[in-house]
Structure 1
Amino acid sequence: MGDIHARVLIVEDEVDIRRFVRLTLESEGCEVFEADCAKRALIEAGTRRPDVIVLDLGLPDGDGVELIREIRTWSPVPIVVLSARSSEGDKILALDAGADDYLVKPFGAGELMARMRAQFRRHLHQTPSGETEIRFGEIRVDLLNRLVERQGEPIHLTPIEYKLLTHLAKQPDRVVTHHQLLKAVWGPGHDEDMHYVRVHMANLRKKVELDPSKPQHLLTEAGIGYRFVRPRG
């Protein structure tokens, strides 16, 4: 297609996978940089200022999770993790450290590009800090007045439901873990109260999704958390 003009840093020590990712991204018009270890990745990330980082967790000179934490001390750049580690615990660890999405090896070019496009949209069209409303489907969220409407008719959300909706909607296409939601909405000390999130998310979906059993915007990442999908355009 060649229609994506973004700078991508690939951090991967396996030559074949690095080459596959590079060729896939370049075929879509991306400018690609490479690093085969954590030390080189930090140098490249600092000098190239990529739009997205694609990161393998198993690096020869360090753990990818620690690299994510270090990058997050100075950059909000979207990070997509590629890893053979497929357990929920490993995914949660990387996402809680600051990763935005997670792909388990092996993966195909189509799946990779779908995830990458979502992150390109996040980076290049991020919600401006001064944005006063969010729209999706038939819903309009007035951030100034804390109002939520469907086709002009007000919808009553509880304070918790409103916090959940806005926290997710301000980070479209990003996987937000249960732990991150608990901390953001309920505050510290609620790390084990995941049932709170599930109950309130179920109620929120009934109010803002056309079909709560098949949500289009507030999607579940099984065992991990949630992702808000904002319509294109």
Structure 2
Amino acid sequence: MRTGGKSILLVDADDALRRSLAELLAGQGGLTVVEAGTAAGALAGLPVPPPDAALVDATLPDMAGGDLCRVLRAAGLEGPLFLLLSPGMPAPPPDPDGAGEHVAKPIRLSALLARLGEKLSRVPGGGVAIGPYRFDAAAKRLETTDGRRIRLTEKETRILDHLHRHDAPVPREALLDAVWGYGAGIDTHTLETHIYRLRRKIEPDPDQSRLLVTVAGGYRLVP
């Protein structure tokens, strides 16, 4: 999960749950967490600019969680809004003016982190952020902040897409299987050739890679 530098608002009346979840999010996801136990507290302490995302309990003591989500959206929070549902509570339909996501309690931290990471890595216009680029896998391209487009081959696209989905280094054999298919009979030299060509497109200095780096036995993307 790549969420470094992101902030999240966590609103839940259960002090023990909120503090525990805030500590886990900050420790495992690299997030800055802003806590509140009530809707009033959340709005009073809402930072400027608003956080990148919010987790809001559906059953707050002073306002329905769904209503708070709509208020937060109107206040300028553009990122993902997750409604935290009590056990057995039916999932509401996505609200375009409020919470577009929901999470049922008890919360599975790994699943929540994965969903947050995917949502927070999205950038305006579609695609995901990879270093200084916007990566659009469907269009097979990278785009810079000044609008320059870098065309990618099918294999280059699949290499970047697979590496982006993994925070940990990806072994060469695993990357071969993911890009060419299990048992395709492709050797690591073919992969290294594609990595070399990809670096020439995305690295300012391909001989000193800082974005797509080699690690013991494989490769990884560095945010």
TM-score (norm 1): 0.49
Q: CA deviation at 1:86?
A: 5.0
Distance 2:135 2:55 in 1: 28
Q: 1:51 to 1:116 in 2, by over 3 A?
A: same
- TM-align CA RMSD: 3.3
Distance 1:5 1:135, change over 3 A: closer
Q: Which runs of 5+ in 2 are unaligned?
A: 127-133, 142-152, 155-220
Give the Å deviation of 1:20: 2.5
Q: CA deviation at 1:77?
A: 3.1
Gaps of 5+ in 1: 141-150, 153-231
Partner of 2:150: none
| Number of the residue aligned with 1:65 | 66
Q: How far apart in 2 are the matches of 1:5 and 1:137?
A: 27
Aligned to 1:79: 81
Answer yes or no: is the 8 Å Cα contact 2:82–2:100 preserved in 1. yes
Q: Is the Cα–Cα contact under 8 Å of residues 65 and 97 in structure 1 kept in the other structure?
A: no
Q: Which residue of 2 aligns with 1:15?
A: 15
1:48 offset after TM fit, Å? 6.0
1:139–1:2 Cα change, 3 Å: closer
Look up the match of 2:130: none
Once the 2 structures are TM-superposed, how far is the Cα of residue 66 of structure 1 from its aligned partner?
A: 1.1
Q: Residue 51 in 1 paired to residue 49 in 2? A: no
Q: Does 1:35 align with 2:33?
A: no
Three-state SS of the structure 2 residue aligned to 1:55 is strand
Query: Are the equivalent residues in 1 in contact too, given 2:9–2:33 (CA < 8 A)?
Result: yes
Matched residues in 1 for 2:21 and 2:49: separation? 18
Which residue pairs with 2:124 in the alignment? 126
Q: In 2, Cα distance between the equivalents of 1:29 and 1:138?
A: 30
Letter of the structure 2 residue corresponding to residue 10 of structure 1: L
Q: How far does residue 136 in structure 1 lie from its aligned partner after superposition?
A: 3.5
Deviation at 1:47, TM superposition (A): 3.9
Distance 2:89 2:140 in 1: 35
**How far 1:98 moved relative to its partner?**
2.0
| Higher-Rg member (1/2) | 2
Moved more, 63-72 or 77-86: 77-86
Q: Report the counterpart of residue 209 of structure 1 in structure 2.
A: none
- Shift in CA distance, 50/118, structure 1 to aligned 2, threshold 3 Å: same
**In the aligned structure 2, how far is the partner of 1:108 from the partner of 1:134?**
29
Cα distance change, pair 80–51 in 1 and its aligned pair in 2 (3 A): same
The one-letter amino acid of 1:25's match is L
Letter in 1 for 2:84: L
The structure that is helix-richer by fraction is: 1
Query: Contact 1:80 / 1:100 at 8 angstroms: preserved in 2?
Result: yes
Equivalent position of 2:4 in the other structure: 4
Cα distance in 2 for partners of 1:14, 1:39 equals 15
Task: Deviation per CA, 1:159-206: give whole Å up to 9, x if none.
Answer: xxxxxxxxxxxxxxxxxxxxxxxxxxxxxxxxxxxxxxxxxxxxxxxx
Letter in 1 for 2:25: L
Trace 1:1-233 onto structure 2 (pairs within 5 A). 4-27=4-27, 28-47=29-48, 49-75=50-76, 76-84=78-86, 86=88, 88=90, 90-92=91-93, 95-122=95-122, 125-127=123-125, 135-137=136-138
Give the length in aligned residue pairs.
136
Partner of 1:175: none
